[in-house]
Amino acid sequence: RKVEEGKVNIWGVKSYISIASLPAVNINNIVEILNDFFPIPLNPAKNSLEISFSNPNMIVHCPTMILNAGRIESTKGDFMFYCEGMTKSVCKVMEKMDEERMEIGERLGLNLISTFEWLKQTYHLKGKNLYEVISTSPVYGGHGPDAPGTLSHRYITEDVPYLLVPVVSFGKLSGIQAPIIECIIRLASAINGVDYLKTGRNLETLGLSGMSLEKILTCI
């Protein structure tokens, strides 16, 4: 994170980065070119949709923002977003959202892992569940207060429309509902006065309206 001009604080280093190309058939060439620029392995993903569905920010950031709305506004972000904001109850909501994400991803033929497993693999963290992994992590707990000071923050304004909305949209296309994820989207919309389901990356705004799932997967 940026601390001041010309200075950043590195919280942790990932063990690998997943990467995709558009179209997907070009991925091996892309990895070969980029390997020299990264000190950690680049793992080829099946397609760009798999990369989007694998982004943990939608599960980690969005529900924590919504369920800590009062605290964020009253303290202006003066608390530890991860270690204090992600309580056992918040993590239960995160896990339910994760189940919905993975169910839709499975229908799309994507190779997904849970956010719990992703955190353990990526940062070599330990714990029996999502709460234990996050609350004991030096990556998330090795610094002071880090919560956003407003609900008009990228954890909502970017992660809700650009990550959660596509999941719900592809879920509906494949016949799977995601009630918990959609609830978080609607609450975020009410808080910020923006209809994220309409303005976010739904099938229409992506230019995919009217296309079958099979056609979309072929295109990418």
Of residues 139, 145, 171, 7, the one with CA closest to residue 72: 145
**165 domain-assigned:** yes
* pLDDT above 90 (res 10): no
In this prediction, residue 141 carries a pLDDT of 80
In this prediction, residue 9 carries a pLDDT of 78
Q: How many domains does the chain have?
A: 1
Amino acid (one-letter) located at 166? P
pTM: 0.92
In this prediction, residue 65 carries a pLDDT of 99
* Cis geometry, peptide bond prior to residue 44 (ω within 30 degrees of 0): no
**143 domain-assigned:** yes
In this prediction, residue 4 carries a pLDDT of 84
* pLDDT above 90 (res 68): yes
If you search the block for the tokens 């339910």, which residue do you land on?
96
**5 domain-assigned:** no
Q: Cα separation of 22 and 186, whole Å? A: 31
Q: Residue 174's domain is classified under what CATH number?
A: 1.10.1040.10
DSSP string for 160-209: IIIIIHHHHHHHHHTT---HHHHHHHHHHHHHHT--HHHHSS-TTTTT-T
In this prediction, residue 146 carries a pLDDT of 93
Long-range CB pairs of 185-190 (<8 Å, 24+ gap) are 185/160, 187/66, 188/62, 188/65, 188/66, 188/156, 188/160, 189/160
In this prediction, residue 139 carries a pLDDT of 84
Owning domain of residue 115: 45-219
In this prediction, residue 106 carries a pLDDT of 98
Tens digit of each residue's pLDDT (9 = 90 or more) over 110-147: 999 999 999 999 998 899 999 999 998 888 887 789 99
Q: Are 73 and 147 in contact (CB under 8 A)?
A: no
Mean per-residue pLDDT of the chain: 95
